[in-house]
Amino acid sequence: MMAEDRRTRRTRRAMRDALVSLVLERGYAPLTVEDITERADIARATFYSHCRDKEDLFTRVTTDLLQELGERLTPLAAESGAGLTGKPLLELFRHAEQERDLYRVILRGEGDGKPLGVFTDESVRRVAEVFRERADQSGIRPRIDPELLARAWVGEQFAVLRWWLEQDPRPMPAEDVAAHLRDLARHGRHWASGADG
């Protein structure tokens, strides 16, 4: 059973790597299942035993990435309590750096933007939940609806994350960009622009 699990994981990883590398080379639209199986060095029957089509593969790859990210962020979000430590944000950037190519194809909107929509909506759901929990724990009432606030926060992160990942070399370390975003969240755009001084 364990050998089968390892083989399944290897196959899925090969499919994922093939999809990502091909999208970066050619774009998503022209890709076929045959392109993916050839690059992954697997039979078409093997592909279809895991996925219906390339869209299903991309969705599964995105869902797996979200699950992995969630496992890394959950303890950090709980640890930060009511404060804005920036630790979950830094972990997002570190995870993105480790999975750079996959994040790039998602954040570019490949696949008619559907994986980006899944990634964004799930991230917003999680962030809004954290905002609501922090407000309840602190006994405060948010001035802006947590859903809207979460969408603004996630959109800002993803815009910066895409810009950061597309640079080679990266314009600054993950720690610095996360700290800048944390400060922006703490103090606001007016402060960040230097207009308050």
The C-alpha atoms of residue 113 and residue 196 are separated, in whole angstroms, by: 38
The secondary structure of residue 29, as a DSSP letter, is T
pTM for the structure as a whole:
0.91
Predicted local distance difference test score (pLDDT) of residue 151: 97
The C-alpha atoms of residue 23 and residue 196 are separated, in whole angstroms, by: 45
Asked if residue 2 belongs to a domain, the reply is yes
Of 59, 43, 45, 47, the residue nearest 15 (C-alpha): 47
Question: 31 with 73, same domain?
Answer: no
Question: 108 with 145, same domain?
Answer: yes
Question: 38 with 113, same domain?
Answer: no
Predicted confidence band at 81 (pLDDT cuts at 50, 70, 90)? low
Asked if residue 137 belongs to a domain, the reply is yes
The C-alpha atoms of residue 15 and residue 36 are separated, in whole angstroms, by: 7
The C-alpha atoms of residue 144 and residue 141 are separated, in whole angstroms, by: 9
Asked if residue 126 belongs to a domain, the reply is yes
Lowest mean pLDDT among 77-91, 104-118, 146-160: 77-91
Structural domain containing residue 23: 1-51
Asked if residue 197 belongs to a domain, the reply is no
CATH code, 109: 1.10.357.10
What's the token pair of residue 110?
A: 């490949």
Asked if residue 182 belongs to a domain, the reply is yes
The C-alpha atoms of residue 62 and residue 197 are separated, in whole angstroms, by: 43
Q: What is the pLDDT of residues 54-70, one digit of tens each?
A: 999 999 999 999 999 99
The C-alpha atoms of residue 171 and residue 9 are separated, in whole angstroms, by: 34
Of 95, 78, 77, the residue nearest 86 (C-alpha): 77
CATH code, 21: 1.10.10.60
Predicted local distance difference test score (pLDDT) of residue 9: 92
Predicted local distance difference test score (pLDDT) of residue 42: 97
